Structure 1
Amino acid sequence: MELSSVHLTLLFTRGVSLTQWEEGGMLERELALYRALRPNLGRITLITHGHGEDARFKRLLPEFDIVYNRWRLPTWRYAQFLNGLWRPWRRGKTIFKSNQTNGADIALTLAKSARKPFIARAGYAYADFAKRKQGFHTLPAARAAILEHRVFNGADRCVVTTRDMADDLTTLYGVEPEKIRVIPNYVECERFAPDGDSPAPGTPRALFVGRLDEQKNVRNLLLAFKNLNAELHLIGDGPLRAELEALAQQEGINARFLGRVNHAELPHHILRATLFIMPSHYEGHPKALLEAMSCGRPVIGGNAPGIRGVITSGENGLLCGHEPSQIAEATRSLLESSALRDKLALSARRYVMENVTLKRVTEQELTLLKELARRHFHNPAGHALSDPAATPRKRASG
């Protein structure tokens, strides 16, 4: 089915705005998929949680319709306001989609009110992250699990970034496997590409990109470099930055904290590094790791969920333990062998080109949208349906 009359409506993560994407240096990365989808669709609407500061994006992003919380309403009231706009969405061929699980309940409510299909997308396991951060038997973890159960069972299709996440939806929440699609995070491989820019001369350099918090295991990463003949560059910010800078100074660790860097500048930093390292305790489907692999840099990752699904140790990167000595051992093995670095770098680039290019992911997204459009907006005779409710439904038993 053609998608030229389909209206894709994307709801942002709860509390997230276009301005935050811009300030975090990831606006272009996050919009790349929707720019690629746009020529195939009738409309794309971005529903953000931004306030007046998001108004300027109506001018800056004319290819998208933008809805934002101009009245600074509380989230629950903003959700009610959005629900009041369902009438025009009901008249058209609208497909709702969430960007992440947190806030997907709003997308689900809108889709049900408008009687339109809903795609619940999750780039990481929201409840699992909550358990690891807050504790397994805490109220936030319980609420996250309840939200996941409601959203994924209520969705017409569920999109997750890894096979492990897909299996968990079925095991933990009883979601039918037929509803689940694994669509990975993508990489703009033309931008993140080996371009002949060699690593910086002099002392070997390792690069870390990510939030400076407990999940990323940055404290042990710093300690691993205490006795290594290498410098460590860290891109990112977070609650532990001051503590980590003090630790590096106290221990005499050769580390530079670069703060946030615009996404467009990341390829330069990656290409100037000898290797990339991400020793996290857990991940979803880590974009920074994939981007480093796309640049043809050898990578080291913590032997953890999310990373194990990307790195096959010894083939396209190295997996390491999470203690300083284990991180140091893996780093040293790469620093001492240019042959190993070259082998892993070539395989890393090949992995990205075969699995997670923007073109490949765009095709997967279009296939999903066509499937939903065909199911909800056309009957078998080829006559357009004004509403999916026009198709017969079986009466629920019991």
Structure 2
Amino acid sequence: MMLGIFLASGESFKEMTKSGQDIRFKKFYLKTFAKNFSRIYIFSFANEKVNGLPQNVTVIPNKYRIHKYLYGVLLPFINFSYIIKCDGFRAYHLFGTFPAIICRIIFGKPFIFNYAYNYQEFAQIENKKFQKILLSIIEPIAILFSKRVFTATKSIFKNVGKKAVYLPNGVDTFFFRPTKNKKNRVKPIILSVGRLEKQKNYEVLINALRTVNAKLLVVGNGSLKNHLKSIAKNNGVELKIIENIENTKMPQVYNRADIFVLPSLAEGSSKVLLEAMSCGLPVIASKVKGPDEIIIDNVTGIFCSTNKRSIRNQVLKLINTQSLRKKIGTEARKRIVEHFNLSKLILTETKAIQKII
């Protein structure tokens, strides 16, 4: 069986390297796929050559450097000689389904894609009106023409219907694991990881930490960077923002922190939440769809509302109770190992792809 992979719109190995996701993709996904399919063609949106891949994996570049939106439509025709060889396709995210839909309609090729989070909700929160309209058009078409849909949360699973295959995000539990001899600090480090955008609710988190004796470390970049720094300064919050950090160094970042907070207004099956829990960190997360399927309240983590009073109260609860931090961190690690092990989830994904081809 030959498998074609459509990366998300604009995605490439070069972009994955920037975010540190290339190692995860190569080590787990491609390694497993290569063992289960005779040939794999990966259609990249960049004009690139990629080394270190299994012998039966070939990257098909965007050699004419066509804009991502136009290339998504033209890709099946420009690369017809490769498309026709594929027995089916794995598309990434809703915006990665453009070429897959065309291949289904014109060439009759089946495809499966992952519905990672509520795309329209995210667009609405960030006031991306045109994107929200576009998503509302693409979503039903992609589901209609797909054979199956990987849904990262149970709420999306219910919305998709009969074609849904529940597949939450997973984590490399060996790579993201607790380290020994954690230091006791006068000022605990509160960590959060994510885009510096409205959806992540960092402004409220900073306001919640006013007068709290703690340091706030945020790993991520985005349009609100300077705004958040200004708010932290005005509120006397000790904030440090690290914009770029190699994914290989993230376990160290998690293990140096005392508490992880995810105060988002909306989420999916959050990879950073899974990574923090896998490292044995006590976590606090807003009770929204996604985290509510990962955390067992007051056992493997603590829920908060999205307002500053709730966030502040839960942060102080953990800061003031070392035994609770330790207990929640230990239980969090156990839950991730048992239910969100990436190696096991990729085998489930591979079998589902094989069934549609």
TM-score band by shorter chain is over 0.9
* Shift of residue 140, structure 1, vs aligned partner: 3.0
- After superposition, the Cα gap between the structure-2 partners of 1:255 and 1:91, relative to the gap in structure 1 and judged at 3 Å, is closer
1:369 is aligned with what amino acid?
I
Unpaired runs of 5+ residues, structure 2, are: none
Q: Check 1:340–1:39 CA distance in 2 against 1; reply closer, same or farther (3 A cut).
A: same
Q: Which amino acid aligns with 2:249?
A: E
Asked if 1:24 corresponds to 2:8, the answer is no
Which whole-Å deviations, capped at 9, do the CAs of 1:275-321 have from their partners, x for residues lacking one?
11100000011000000001111100012122212112111100101
Structure 2 match to 1:101: 94
Does structure 1 retain, via aligned residues, the 8 Å contact 2:189–2:259? Answer: yes
Task: Tell me the CA shift for residue 77 of structure 1.
Answer: 4.7
Q: Deviations over 1:183-214 (max 9, x none)?
A: 11110000001131514644211111111110
Amino acid at match of 1:83: F
Whichever residue aligns with residue 41 of structure 1, its letter is: F
Q: In structure 1, give the amino acid aligned to 2:34.
A: R
**Separation of aligned partners in 1, 2:102 and 2:146:** 10
Q: 1:116 to 1:78 in 2, by over 3 A?
A: closer
In structure 2, C-alpha distance between the alignment counterparts of 1:130 and 1:256, rounded to whole Å? 27
Matched, 1:86 2:80: yes
Structure 1 stretches of at least 4 aligned residues deviating more than 6 Å after TM superposition: none
Determine if the alignment matches structure 1 residue 61 to structure 2 residue 53: yes
Counterpart Cα distance in 2 of 1:183 and 1:12: 18
Q: TM-score, normalised by structure 2?
A: 0.93
- 1:47–1:190 distance in 2 versus 1, CA, 3 Å: same
Matches for 1:165-314 after TM superposition, within 5 Å: 165-170=156-161, 177=162, 179-199=163-183, 201-314=185-298
Contact kept? 2:4, 2:83, Cα under 8 Å = no
Pairing partner for 1:76 from 59, 63, 70: 70
Structure 1's 263 and 24: CA in aligned 2 closer, same or farther, altered over 3 A? same
1:7 aligns with 2:25: no
Pick closer, same or farther for the CA change 1:69–1:203 going to 2, 3 Å.
same
**TM-aligned CA deviation for residue 128 of structure 1:** 2.8
More deviation, 114-123/311-320: 114-123
**How much has 1:61 moved relative to structure 2?**
3.3
Query: Per the alignment, in what secondary structure is the counterpart of residue 5 of structure 2?
Result: strand
Aligned amino acid, residue 29 of structure 2: L
| C-alpha displacement of 1:240 | 0.3
Aligned residue type for 2:79 = L
1:239-283 deviations in whole A, cap 9, x for unaligned? 000111122223221111122211111100101111111000000
Distance 1:362 1:81, change over 3 A: closer
Contact 1:197–1:272, Cα closer than 8 Å, also in 2:
no
1:47 is matched with 43
Alignment: residue pair count: 354
CA distance in 2, matches of 1:335, 1:77: 50
Quote the Cα distance in structure 2 between the aligned partners of 1:7 and 1:97. Answer: 11
Deviation track 1:165-185 (CA, whole Å, cap 9, x = no partner) reads 111223xxxxxx1x2101111
For residues 376-397 of structure 1, the C-alpha deviation after alignment (integer angstroms, 9 at most, x for no partner) is: xxxxxxxxxxxxxxxxxxxxxx
Question: Contact 1:11–1:46 (CA<8 Å) still a contact in 2?
Answer: yes
| Structure 1 segments unaligned to the other structure (5+ residues) | 1-5, 171-176, 374-398
Work out the percentage of aligned pairs sharing the same amino acid: 25
| SS of corresponding position for 1:19 | helix
